[in-house]
Chain A
Amino acid sequence: MAGIEIKNVRKTYAGGVEAIKGIDLTIPDGKLVVLVGPSGCGKSTLLRMIAGLETITDGTIEIGDKVVNKLEPAERDIAMVFQNYALYPHMSVRGNLAYGLKNRGTPKVEIAERIEEAARILEITPFLDRKPRQLSGGQRQRVAMGRAIVRQPKAFLFDEPLSNLDAKLRGHMRVEIRRLQRTFKTTAVYVTHDQLEAMTLADKLVVMNAGRIEQMGKPLDVYANPQSLFVAAFMGSPGMNLIAVGELQALGVGLPDAIPASTGTLGLRPEDVTLEAPAEPHIVIDASLDAVELVGSESLVYARAQGIEKDIVVRTPGIHPGEPGDALTLHVAHSALHCFEQTTGRKVEIQRAA
C-alpha cells in the first residue's frame, strides 16, 4: 500500500493539445480520491499518467515515495479498471483473473486461492468458466473489479467504470466499490464526470476544469463551500442558481450591505431557497411559478422572476400544489448566499458583522 504524490505535472500531447496544465495533488495512503469534472478536462489523461499509459511531459509522480516517471505500467504495481472493462475476450473469466498473476510468476496454488477469494467476494464464482461475451454488463464490471483485486496492487485506478451501466446497477455498484475499497484499504483514484458518484464515493474530492484543479477537499465541504462559479455550477443536481447582482438590483431586491462591492454573481442552492420566510435575515424575490417537477419525496419548483434570464430552481419537500402563473415569494437567508467576484468568478466572503 502506498500514497501517490503528484508534483507540478503537465501533459502536452503530440498534436500540441495541453491536456494537463500543472497539477499538484496528494493522494493519501488507503484513501479513495475522486477526480471529477466535465468531459475533456483531462481526468483520464492524469489517471493514465499515474498508470504509465501516457508519458509525463513535466513534473513527477511518486507512488509510495518512489518516482515512477520512467517506470513501465507493469512495474508501478497498480491495477486499472477501464470504462469498457477491457476484458480479454478469448479468455474465460478465470483466465482473465489469472493473466496478471501468471505474468508475474505467482505460484499456481496461490493463483487458484486468490481467484477463489476474489470470486467469492464479488459473487462471480458461477461464471468463472464463462467467456466475457456470455456475461451481462454488471457481471463484466464485477470481473473487471476482480481482475484488479486479485493482483493486490499498491493502488486501484478507475476510469469511469460505471458509465456503461444502467442507473440502478450504477447505484448498486457504487456502494459495492466503496465497500471493497474500505475493506482492502487500498489507495484508489477514481475518475468520473458524474458529480453524484463523486460526492458519494470520495474521501477526497478533486474538481478539475480545463487541465487544472479547480477545488479539492471533503465532498461536503466542496458542496457547501464552492470556491468558484465553475464548482458552484458543476456540483449538485440541479446546480446552484447563479444570478447576476445587477439583475436582482434591477428587480428591486434588497441585498444585504455585507455583500462585497466586487461581487458580480450571487449563488443560491435550490434547497436554500424557501417559499416561507425564515426567522433569520433574508432576501425576498417576487416571482411567478413556471413549472413544477415532482420527484416523489420532493418537488422542484421553477420560478420566473422579471428581468432574470434563467428560472430559479427551488427544492421544496413534499408535493407542491401550485399551477403555472401562480405568484411566488422566494426567500433566501443571508447566511446562505454565495458571492462570486465579477472579474475572476472566485468566491468572495461576505463580511459578517462582528
Chain B
Amino acid sequence: MQTKRTTFTNRGLPYALVLPQLAITAIFFLWPAGQAFYQSFLRQDAFGFRTTFVWLDNYERLFADPSYLNSLWVTAIFAISTTVVSIGLALALAAAVDRMIRSARAYTTLLVWPYAVAPVVAGILWWFMFNPTIGILPYILDQFGYDWNHSLSRLDAMVLIVLAASWKQISYNFLFFLAGLQSIPHSLTEAAAIDGAGPVKRFFTIILPLLSPTTFFLMVVNVVYAMFDTFGIVHGTTEGGPAQSTNILVYKVYNDGFIGLNLGSSAAQSVVLMSIVVTLTVIQFRYIERRVEY
C-alpha cells in the first residue's frame, strides 16, 4: 500500500504539531498510570502519616483476598454476558434492518441513539425501569409471578447491569454489523438460494462466516467496554451490591481507593486492570493485522 507523505520544510514543525496531543497523553494518562504503578508498591497508614515501600505485598494480598477473587469472577460473568447479549441482539437487529428496503435509514438512526447516552444516565434509566417499588418492569414481571428485586437477589442485580450495559453497546455493534452485512454481495445469498438453502441456512452457512472478522473485532471491543467502561452503569444501579455480587473490577478500584481509602491496594488493582486492557489490545491488533482467515 502506498502512503501519502507530506514533506515539511521545517524539521521542528511536525513535532510542534503533535506536542499538544503528546502533552495531554502524558499529563492525563502516562503520569497517573506511572503514579498508580508506583503507588501499588507503597502502603499508607489510615491517616496518611506514614508511607512504606512494601514491594509486591499489595499484589500478594490482592490475590489472596476472597473479595478480589469474587470481583474477578463477577467481572468475567458480566463481561461475557454483556458481550453475548449485545452482539446477539445487535446482529439480529442488523439482519432485520438489512432486509428492509424502505425505512432502513430511519431505523438505523433510532437504533444509534442509545450510544449517545452517558453511562450513568443509562444506569439510572434502567434503575428506574427496574425499581422494585416504582418501576414498570418489576410490575409486569409480578403479573407473571416473578418477584423482581435487584437489591436483594444476586441474579436480578447481575441481569440488571448486563441489560443496562448491553443496551448501550448494541448501537455500536449494530452499526458494524449493518456495514458488514451490506458489504456482502447480494449475489452470494441469491446463489445460495438457488443452491437450495433456506433463509436460516443461508444465514448460518454464508452470512455468519463472512461476518466473522466483524464479530471477532466486536467481541474484543465489547469485553473491553464491559470491563472498563461500565463504572457509571454499576454506580447508577446496584453500586456493587447486593453482597458484592455486582462489584466488578473497575467499581472495586473506586470503592477500595476512594471510599475505603486503601490507596495501595487500589493502585495494585488498577495496574492489574491496565495489564488486562493491554493484553486485549495486543490480541486485537495482532488479529486485525492478519485478518480472520476465511
Q: What are the residues of chain B within 8 A of A147 when measuring CB–CB?
A: 191, 195
- Interface size class on chain A is 20 to 34
Q: Is the CB of B210 within 8 A of A103?
A: no
Q: What are the residues of chain B within 8 A of A52 when measuring CB–CB?
A: 193-194
Q: What are the residues of chain A within 8 A of B191 when measuring CB–CB?
A: 80, 82, 86, 88, 147
Q: Is the CB of A99 within 8 A of B192?
A: yes
Flag whether A100 is at the interface (Cβ < 8 A).
yes
**Subset of 21 A-B contacts with CB under 8 Å:** A52-B193, A53-B193, A72-B193, A73-B190, A73-B194, A74-B194, A74-B196, A74-B197, A74-B198, A79-B194, A82-B190, A86-B191, A88-B188, A89-B210, A90-B209, A90-B210, A99-B195, A103-B196, A103-B197, A103-B201, A151-B195
Nearest opposing residue in chain A for B189, CB measure: A86
Flag whether A299 is at the interface (Cβ < 8 A).
no
* Cα(A82)–Cα(B190), bound, Å: 10
Flag whether B187 is at the interface (Cβ < 8 A).
yes
Flag whether A78 is at the interface (Cβ < 8 A).
yes
In the complex, chain A residues 43-99 whose Cβ is within 8 Å of any chain B Cβ: 51-53, 72-74, 78-80, 82, 84, 86, 88-90, 99
**Residue from B101, B185, B193, B210 within 8 A of A73 (CB atoms):** B193
As a 0/1 sequence over residues 83 to 104 of chain B, the CB contacts with chain A under 8 angstroms (1 = contact) are: 0000000000000000001000
In the complex, chain B residues 202-236 whose Cβ is within 8 Å of any chain A Cβ: 205-206, 209-210
Q: What are the residues of chain A within 8 A of B28 when measuring CB–CB?
A: none
In the complex, chain A residues 204-248 whose Cβ is within 8 Å of any chain B Cβ: none
Q: Is the CB of A86 within 8 A of B190?
A: yes
As a 0/1 sequence over residues 266 to 294 of chain B, the CB contacts with chain A under 8 angstroms (1 = contact) are: 00000000000000000000000000001
Flag whether A172 is at the interface (Cβ < 8 A).
no
Nearest opposing residue in chain B for A157, CB measure: B194
Supposing A82-B187, A82-B191 touch, asked if A100 and B196 sit within 8 A by C-beta, the answer is yes
* Cα(A74)–Cα(B202), bound, Å: 12
Q: Is the CB of A84 within 8 A of B206?
A: no
* Cα(A151)–Cα(B194), bound, Å: 11
* Cα(A84)–Cα(B188), bound, Å: 10
Flag whether A104 is at the interface (Cβ < 8 A).
yes
Q: Is the CB of B196 within 8 A of A88?
A: no
Could you tell me which B residues sit within 8 Å of A by CB distance?
A: 101, 185, 187-188, 190-198, 201, 205-206, 209-210, 294
Q: Is the CB of A80 within 8 A of B196?
A: no
Q: What are the residues of chain B within 8 A of A250 when measuring CB–CB?
A: none
As a 0/1 sequence over residues 23 to 56 of chain A, the CB contacts with chain B under 8 angstroms (1 = contact) are: 0000000000000000000000000000111000
Q: Is the CB of A88 within 8 A of B192?
A: yes
Question: What DSSP secondary structure best describes chain A's contact surface?
Answer: loop
Supposing A14-B101, A103-B201 touch, asked if A86 and B193 sit within 8 A by C-beta, the answer is no
* Cα(A238)–Cα(B201), bound, Å: 49
* Cα(A257)–Cα(B284), bound, Å: 84
Q: Is the CB of A89 within 8 A of B294?
A: yes
Nearest opposing residue in chain B for A81, CB measure: B191
Q: What are the residues of chain A within 8 A of B206 when measuring CB–CB?
A: 88
- B110 shortest CB reach to chain A, Å: 23
* Cα(A329)–Cα(B88), bound, Å: 78
* Cα(A316)–Cα(B194), bound, Å: 48
* Cα(A100)–Cα(B101), bound, Å: 28
- A187 shortest CB reach to chain B, Å: 16
Q: What are the residues of chain A within 8 A of B294 when measuring CB–CB?
A: 89-90, 131
In the complex, chain A residues 150-192 whose Cβ is within 8 Å of any chain B Cβ: 151
Among B193, B201, B210: residue with most chain A CB under 10 A? B193
Q: Is the CB of A104 within 8 A of B190?
A: no
Q: What are the residues of chain B within 8 A of A84 when measuring CB–CB?
A: 185, 187
Q: What are the residues of chain A within 8 A of B196 when measuring CB–CB?
A: 74, 100, 103-104
Q: What are the residues of chain A within 8 A of B187 when measuring CB–CB?
A: 82, 84, 86
Supposing A89-B210, A90-B209 touch, asked if A53 and B190 sit within 8 A by C-beta, the answer is yes
Q: What are the residues of chain B within 8 A of A99 when measuring CB–CB?
A: 192, 195, 197, 205
* Cα(A101)–Cα(B28), bound, Å: 60
- A337 shortest CB reach to chain B, Å: 46
Nearest opposing residue in chain A for B292, CB measure: A90
* Cα(A53)–Cα(B196), bound, Å: 13
As a 0/1 sequence over residues 97 to 124 of chain A, the CB contacts with chain B under 8 angstroms (1 = contact) are: 0011001100000000000000000000
* Cα(A104)–Cα(B195), bound, Å: 8
* Cα(A74)–Cα(B198), bound, Å: 9
* Cα(A35)–Cα(B282), bound, Å: 55
* Cα(A74)–Cα(B192), bound, Å: 9
Q: Is the CB of B210 within 8 A of A80?
A: no
Q: A72-B193, A86-B188, A99-B197 are in contact. List 19 more A-B contacts (CB 8 A).
A: A51-B190, A52-B193, A53-B190, A74-B194, A74-B195, A74-B198, A82-B187, A82-B190, A84-B185, A84-B187, A86-B190, A86-B191, A90-B209, A90-B210, A99-B195, A99-B205, A104-B196, A131-B294, A147-B191
